[in-house]
Structure 1
Amino acid sequence: MELDLQNLQTKDFYYDLPKELIAQTPLEPRDSSRLLTLNRKTGEISHKHFYDIIDCLNPGDCLVLNDSRVLPARLYGVKEDTGAKVEFLLLTHREGDVWEVLCGPGKRAKPGTRFSFGDDLLKAEVLEIIEDGNRLARFIYDGNFYEILDKIGQMPLPHYITKPLENNERYQTVYSKEIGSAAAPTAGLHFTPELLERVKQKGVKVAFVTLHVGLGTFRPVTAERVVDHKMHSEHYYLPKETADCINATKKNGGRVIAVGTTSCRTLETVGTKEGCIKESSGWTDIFIYPGYQYKVLDGLITNFHLPESTLIMLVSAFAGYDHIMNAYKVAVQEKYRFFSFGDAMFIY
Structure 2
Amino acid sequence: MAAIGNAFKIPQSLNAKVPAERRGSGRDDVRLMVMEGEDVHHERFSSLPDFLNERDLLVFNNSRTIPAVLKAAAGNREVEVRLSRQLDDHRWEALIWGGLFSAGDELMLNEGVSAVVTGTGKEKPLIILAFSISGVELMDYIYRLGEPVRYEYIDSAWTLDAYQTAYASVPGSVEMASAGRAFSWNLLGKLKEKGVKTAFLTLHTGLSYYGHDRWPNPEKHPESYHIPKETVDLIRSVKKAHGRVIAVGTTVVRALETAADENGDLTEAEGITSLYIRKEYRLKTVDGLITGLHEPEATHLEMLTAFTPEHQLFEAYRQALKRGYLWHEFGDMNLILRKNVLQ
* Equivalence map 1:299-318=2 (5 Å): 299-318=288-307
Deviations 1:231-262 (A, max 9, x none): 42211111110000000001012111110111
Contact conserved, 2:218 with 2:274, CA < 8 A, in 1?
no
The equivalent position to 1:111 in structure 2, one of 103, 110, 117, is 103
- Structure 2 residue 341 is matched with structure 1 residue 344: no
Match of 1:32 among 29, 32, 43: 29
Two-structure CA RMSD over aligned residues (Å): 2.3
Secondary structure in 2 matching 1:163: coil
Amino acid at match of 2:70: L
Alpha carbons 1:67, 1:210 under 8 Å: kept: yes
Q: Say whether 1:128 aligns with 2:125.
A: no
Please name the residue that 1:45 is paired with.
40
Provide the rounded CA distance (Å) in 2 between the counterparts of 1:90 and 1:292: 30
Post-superposition CA distance 1:1-24 (Å, at most 9, x none): xxxxxxxx5244331221111111
Contact kept, 8 Å, 1:221 with 1:310, in 2: the verdict is no
Structure 1 residue runs without a partner (length 5+): 1-8
Alpha-carbon distance, 1:221 to partner = 8.1
The amino acid of 1:52's aligned partner reads: S
- The equivalent residue for 1:56 is 51
Pick closer, same or farther for the CA change 1:68–1:333 going to 2, 3 Å: same
Contact 1:66 1:185 in 2 (8 A): yes
The offset of 1:63, in angstroms, is 0.4
Structure 2 match to 1:101: 94
Give the SS at the match of 1:317.
coil
2:63 pairs with 1:68:
yes
CA distance in 2, matches of 1:92, 1:205: 31
Check the 8 A contact 1:174/1:192 in 2, yes or no: yes
Q: TM-score, normalised by structure 2?
A: 0.89
Q: Tell me by how many angstroms 1:117 deviates.
A: 2.2
Match of 2:198 in 1: 206
2:104, 2:116 within 8 Å by CA — same for their partners in 1? yes
Instruction: State the SS of the aligned residue for 1:347.
Output: strand
Map 1:237-256 → 2, pairs under 5 A: 237-256=226-245
Q: Secondary structure at the match of 2:20?
A: coil
What is the Cα deviation at residue 204 of structure 1?
1.1
SS at match of 2:18: coil
CA distance in 2, matches of 1:72, 1:243: 31
Q: Which residue is equivalent to 1:319?
A: 308
Q: Deviations over 1:83-126 (max 9, x none)?
A: 4212111111112211122113333x433333232343x32222
Letter in structure 2 aligned against 1:36 = M
Cα shift readout 1:259-309 (whole Å, capped 9, x = no counterpart) = 011111111111247851111121111111112211111211111001132
Question: In the alignment, what sits opposite 2:13?
Answer: 20
Mean alpha-carbon deviation: is it higher for 123-132 or for 69-78? 123-132
- 1:38 deviation in Å? 1.0
Q: Which segment drifts farther, 83-92 or 268-277?
A: 268-277
Q: Is 2:72 the counterpart of 1:77? A: yes
1:100-179 pair list within 5 angstroms: 100-107=93-100, 109-120=101-112, 122-130=113-121, 131-141=123-133, 144-157=137-150, 159-179=151-171
The answer on whether the counterparts of 1:221 and 1:309 sit within 8 Å (CA) in structure 2 is no
User: Which residue type is aligned with residue 115 of structure 2?
Assistant: A
Deviation at 1:152, TM superposition (A): 0.9
Q: Distance in 1 between matches of 2:229 and 2:278?
A: 28
Q: 1:304–1:343: 8 Å Cα contact kept in structure 2?
A: yes
Distance in 1, matches of 2:247 and 2:265, equals 16
Aligned-partner Cα distance in 1 for 2:279–2:125: 31
- Which residue, out of 257, 260, 284, partners 2:273? 284
TM, length-normalised to structure 1: 0.87
Partners of 2:138 and 2:262 lie apart in 1 by 34
Amino acid at match of 1:48: E
